[in-house]
Chain A
Amino acid sequence: MSTNMKTAAEVMLDVLYEKGVRHVFGIPGGNSIPIYDALTHHPLDLILTRHEQGATHMADGYARSSGKPGVVCVTSGPGATNTLTGILTAMMDSVPMIVITGQSVTPNIGLDAFQEADVLGMSFPAVKHSYMVTNPQHISRIVKEALHIATSGRPGPVLIDIPKDVSASLIDPSIEPERDLPGFKPVPVADPTDLDKAADLLNHAVRPVILAGHGVILSGASEALKELAETMQIPVTTTLLGKGGFPDTHDLSLGMPGMHGTAYANKALSGSDLIVSVGARWDDRITGVPEKFCPNARKIHFDIDPVEINKIINVDCAVVGDAKASLEALIPRLKPGDTTRWIKQVNRWKRDFPLKYRKEGKLRAQHIIEELAAMAGIDAVSCTDVGQHQMWAAQFVKSDKGENWLSSGGAGTMGFGLPSAIGAQLARPESTVYTVVGDGSFQMTLCELATAVINKLPIKILIINNRYLGMVRQWQHLFYENRLTGVDLEGNPDFMKLAAAYGLKGFRVKRSSDVRKTLKAALQWNEGPCIIEAVVEQHDNVFPMVPAGATLEEMIIEAPRRKRSAEDETKEIA
């Protein structure tokens, strides 16, 4: 026996460290103790969380803000099932993540042992790939494969389930089985014929629009995209996840399209004769009913994942490959036309239908979000939770780098806001990190305040408190004759007392006139996290809005003139 024997758990941590991983997020349990035991004397930093879902969102935020995979380590059974929401969130948004789950000892698997669950089986529909480690000698191969799969091509989460007896087994780390991935397809390279066709469509377009998604950010294609847009003078609309992939501050930027997108982005899409999607997947929050989506525009789709081609929208030209490589190969084929008239038209829409909100009366969520973003500066990392505040943040936060904007898009996971900010602040200790959360979504993972406090992370947590599940209330108000059910969050804690209980700084703001003063104090508070509770107008709705099933032309641009009062709504319910 070699004297260099190590446990499989130690070898697993060594491989992660070798591959550049520095933080592991998680909380232990019986079946992951051998892994946590190995962490006691390992250079990898354990970030102890209070819940496994929080750990996954932290790893997610870490990955989105740094481009490096996030790593989670939890125990079996409920510990593992608690990660499923975070795994789904990462899968839907193509985020590289490794989730290591402890498992019962091998002889107990499948026998309903304590804290035993078929985690591998449960993972299948939600992961890019998953493993159960049965032979400890294969641990290094599996971890390397998992990292490769998670980070290459279209990124995604990979789960590794390790029985306790396997992680505790002593192995010889010098014996390393070879990679065994015969079915893992290499990143496709754009077909020159498809590129010619795309160039031809672009060269002849009169009213083109670029629809830029997360793929632009994941492939580092922002510069190439900018060159494409500027050379050809094409306006660019960025999806919720593509935000920052093209600077919000650029003259050609249209902001976000779709259900709560800008009126000018939606008008531009509706009026276009060519839509060039780059790393976006025609999400239903943008296209609505696919058959009715911009029927007069030709469509080009750049995507790294062949599954996305013609999945929702039938396209005239598909270019399968990495966004950056494809755009760089496309640009030399282009001959700039004249889009001056089109750009003028788009600019008229921008002037005539700007994003706006009422500034009189009670404090508005949009106001404080816009101020926080402006005061924190364009280099700050903005995280959001899911709901009305998320859409307002998407509308009013200006971003010029994809890795500075973190939001759960595909899965729309409430509870993402706080832990993703923790992950981002750990990945980017020098950056200002703030997170905009709703009073509802914040409570889904608020136990992670402890994680932020013990790590002294100076995150600014802006709670938009309207004491409602605001987005659901908005739908019930607009489409269910204001029959409000299950949306009143009576019983919310006193968020200032909550802050005090966790030992963090709390600020509360109720008046528009106090916004700047409060935000200034909060931004200067760097001794740890702080909560800024904004008590806002309860009945504001997010506009513009394209009702579900309607076309972009049918969007409601702004709220009806007469604002419904709280009393009106109460009367209607009665």
Chain B
Amino acid sequence: MTNAAKHTISLLVSNKPGVLTRVALVFARRGFNIDSLVVSQSQEAEFSRMNIEATGDERTLHLMLAQLNRLVDVIHAVDHATDDVIQRELALFKVSCAPEKRTEVLQIADTFRGQTVDIGDETITLQVTGKSSKVDAFLKMMSPFGIRELVRTGKVLMSRGLEATA
């Protein structure tokens, strides 16, 4: 694939059985890798929101957006690669942490405004929220201590001000 870049696509979809599969098939058919996928309720019960992060070339992305918009259950699908939108992600880190390392780990977590959600003799579990790049940076800082488990919610986004999120 040429010009592989990361894209954040948001979709508003009808809450019908199979809609997730229909959307996923559009990505799978062209071999587009889905990096993260968030499906959640919207302000209206009959619609759901999807936020998809995917890596691939521009030309294929344009084709896929058109194919997504062609699906009857998709109200609309938009790429936010260049938009200034609010982006957030939440991550939980279970880090190896003997009691003598606690202060150091907690100091770093504090810098990232991380929260301690669980603590034991050998591990400490931290919650970090923010832009994905912040989560990435925290991951880098925690790696030397030994990350036992990591889970990320995937990116969610919303337009600023009065502009409606597509």
A interface with B by C-beta (< 8 Å): 120-121, 124-125, 128-130, 132, 149, 180-185, 305-307, 309-311
Would you give the shortest CB distance from A152 to chain B, in whole angstroms? 11
Would you give the shortest CB distance from B86 to chain A, in whole angstroms? 25
With the chains together, A180 CA to B69 CA distance in Å?
Answer: 17
Task: Knowing that A182-B47, A183-B74, A307-B70 touch, tell me 6 more A-B residue pairs with CB under 8 angstroms.
Answer: A121-B18, A121-B21, A124-B25, A307-B67, A309-B66, A310-B63
Give B13's nearest chain A residue, CB to CB. A183
Q: Identify which of A130, A181, A307, A309 gathers the most chain B CB atoms within 10 Å of its CB.
A: A307
Q: Are A125 and B72 in contact (CB under 8 A)?
A: no
Q: Are A125 and B70 in contact (CB under 8 A)?
A: no
Check A182/B63 contact, CB under 8 A, given A121-B21, A305-B70: no
Closest A-B pairs by Cβ, 3 of them:
A307-B66, A129-B72, A183-B75
With the chains together, A225 CA to B18 CA distance in Å?
Answer: 40
Residues of chain B within 8 A of A132, CB atoms compared: 17-18
Counting CB contacts under 8 A, is B62 at the interface?
yes
Would you give the shortest CB distance from B10 to chain A, in whole angstroms? 15
With the chains together, A130 CA to B17 CA distance in Å?
Answer: 11
Residues of chain A within 8 A of B29, CB atoms compared: 125
Residues of chain A within 8 A of B67, CB atoms compared: 307
Counting CB contacts under 8 A, is B22 at the interface?
yes
Give A120's nearest chain B residue, CB to CB. B18
With the chains together, A337 CA to B68 CA distance in Å?
Answer: 41
Residues of chain A within 8 A of B70, CB atoms compared: 185, 305-307
Q: Which of A149, A307, A309, A311 contacts B72 (CB 8 A)?
A: A149
With the chains together, A149 CA to B70 CA distance in Å?
Answer: 11
Residues of chain B within 8 A of A120, CB atoms compared: 17-18
With the chains together, A181 CA to B74 CA distance in Å?
Answer: 10
11 contacts between A and B (CB under 8 A): A121-B21, A124-B21, A128-B72, A129-B72, A129-B73, A183-B13, A183-B71, A185-B70, A306-B69, A307-B70, A309-B66
With the chains together, A475 CA to B62 CA distance in Å?
Answer: 35
Counting CB contacts under 8 A, is B123 at the interface?
no
Residues of chain A within 8 A of B13, CB atoms compared: 183
Counting CB contacts under 8 A, is B14 at the interface?
yes
Q: Identify which of A132, A182, A184 gathers the most chain B CB atoms within 10 Å of its CB.
A: A182
Q: Identify which of B17, B46, B47 gathers the most chain A CB atoms within 10 Å of its CB.
A: B17
Give A311's nearest chain B residue, CB to CB. B63
Would you give the shortest CB distance from A31 to chain B, in whole angstroms? 19
With the chains together, A183 CA to B67 CA distance in Å?
Answer: 13
Would you give the shortest CB distance from A155 to chain B, in whole angstroms? 13
Check A181/B18 contact, CB under 8 A, given A125-B29, A307-B63, A307-B66: no
With the chains together, A311 CA to B67 CA distance in Å?
Answer: 11
Q: Are A310 and B62 in contact (CB under 8 A)?
A: yes
**When each residue 53-86 of chain B gets 1 if its CB lies under 8 Å from chain A and 0 otherwise, what string results?**
0000001001100110111111110000000000
Would you give the shortest CB distance from A70 to chain B, in whole angstroms? 20
Q: Are A306 and B21 in contact (CB under 8 A)?
A: no
**When each residue 1-20 of chain B gets 1 if its CB lies under 8 Å from chain A and 0 otherwise, what string results?**
00000000000011001100
Q: Are B18 and A184 in contact (CB under 8 A)?
A: no
Q: Are B14 and A182 in contact (CB under 8 A)?
A: yes
With the chains together, A185 CA to B74 CA distance in Å?
Answer: 10
With the chains together, A129 CA to B72 CA distance in Å?
Answer: 7
With the chains together, A132 CA to B73 CA distance in Å?
Answer: 14
With the chains together, A121 CA to B67 CA distance in Å?
Answer: 18
Would you give the shortest CB distance from B75 to chain A, in whole angstroms? 5
Q: Are B66 and A306 in contact (CB under 8 A)?
A: yes
Residues of chain B within 8 A of A149, CB atoms compared: 72
With the chains together, A133 CA to B51 CA distance in Å?
Answer: 28
Give A128's nearest chain B residue, CB to CB. B72
Residues of chain B within 8 A of A180, CB atoms compared: 14
Q: Which of A124, A182, A309 contacts B18 (CB 8 A)?
A: A124
With the chains together, A149 CA to B73 CA distance in Å?
Answer: 12
Q: Which of A124, A181, A306, A310 contacts B22 (CB 8 A)?
A: A124
Check A182/B69 contact, CB under 8 A, given A125-B25, A307-B63, A311-B63: no
Check A182/B75 contact, CB under 8 A, given A125-B29, A306-B69: yes
Residues of chain B within 8 A of A130, CB atoms compared: 18
Give B26's nearest chain A residue, CB to CB. A125
With the chains together, A311 CA to B22 CA distance in Å?
Answer: 20
Q: Are A181 and B72 in contact (CB under 8 A)?
A: yes
**When each residue 135-164 of chain B gets 1 if its CB lies under 8 Å from chain A and 0 otherwise, what string results?**
000000000000000000000000000000
With the chains together, A307 CA to B47 CA distance in Å?
Answer: 24
With the chains together, A184 CA to B46 CA distance in Å?
Answer: 15
With the chains together, A184 CA to B70 CA distance in Å?
Answer: 8
With the chains together, A306 CA to B64 CA distance in Å?
Answer: 11
With the chains together, A185 CA to B75 CA distance in Å?
Answer: 8
Residues of chain B within 8 A of A185, CB atoms compared: 69-70
Would you give the shortest CB distance from A146 to chain B, in whole angstroms? 10
Residues of chain B within 8 A of A121, CB atoms compared: 18, 21
With the chains together, A180 CA to B17 CA distance in Å?
Answer: 14
Q: Are A183 and B73 in contact (CB under 8 A)?
A: yes
With the chains together, A182 CA to B15 CA distance in Å?
Answer: 11
Q: Are A183 and B72 in contact (CB under 8 A)?
A: yes
Give A305's nearest chain B residue, CB to CB. B70
With the chains together, A181 CA to B14 CA distance in Å?
Answer: 9
Residues of chain A within 8 A of B69, CB atoms compared: 185, 306
With the chains together, A125 CA to B22 CA distance in Å?
Answer: 8
With the chains together, A12 CA to B66 CA distance in Å?
Answer: 32
Residues of chain B within 8 A of A182, CB atoms compared: 14, 46-47, 75
Q: Which of B14, B18, B25, B63 contacts A183 (CB 8 A)?
A: B14
With the chains together, A179 CA to B81 CA distance in Å?
Answer: 35
With the chains together, A307 CA to B63 CA distance in Å?
Answer: 6
With the chains together, A184 CA to B17 CA distance in Å?
Answer: 16
With the chains together, A275 CA to B54 CA distance in Å?
Answer: 35
Residues of chain A within 8 A of B25, CB atoms compared: 124-125
Q: Identify which of A129, A132, A184 gathers the most chain B CB atoms within 10 Å of its CB.
A: A184
Would you give the shortest CB distance from A367 to chain B, in whole angstroms? 43
Give A130's nearest chain B residue, CB to CB. B18
With the chains together, A124 CA to B27 CA distance in Å?
Answer: 13
